[in-house]
Amino acid sequence: MSVRTVCLGWHWRPYRYSRDAVDVNGRRVLGFPDWMVRLGRQALTAAGDPSAERYTPDTALVNYYDAGARMGMHQDRDEVSREPVVSLSIGDTARFRFGNTENRSRPYRDFDLESGDLFVFGGPLRLAYHGVQRIHPGTAPDDCGLAAGRINITMRVTGLSE
């Protein structure tokens, strides 16, 4: 993993969540904004998920990818909840690999996520292995707010309580 991460709602570090960024600066993590809850619900509605109105994400991982950044194949299994993950791409296009739930090898599918794309995975594919193979530098739209790189925001329901 060669990205830089900021969290909202809960602070994630490998294999656990906490309310304080104990491995960064010790400060309390900013709350999860209502507008992101609404965005997550809209994404699930567009994906045809009948539970969209009840979807209430409580954390977001905001990852910044520079031109050389990658993220290896992994499963998002640190959450207690298995509600869908909603992913929003901003900036440069990323080659995204979406695989199976058993292992990091085939079958998988590679496709490009462009700025503004929403990707939702839930149900039986909630634990699918996935990763970012490469960033396509210089592909961000002029009006996206980034001069270079890619921001990916993934919203999740942790299922955790204080």
> Residue 23 has what pLDDT?
87
The pair of structure tokens assigned to 16 is 């656990």
Does the pLDDT of residue 68 top 70, yes or no?
A: yes
pTM score above 0.85: yes
Structure confidence at residue 1 as a pLDDT band (50, 70, 90): low
Distance between start and end Cα atoms, the chain? 28
Residue 9 in tokens? 């709602």
Over range 25-33, report the average pLDDT. Answer: 93
User: What are the structural domains of the chain?
Assistant: 4-156 (2.60.120.590)
Backbone angles phi, psi at 149, to 5 degrees: 90, -175
pLDDT of residue 4: 87
The model's confidence at residue 82, banded by pLDDT at 50, 70 and 90, is: very high
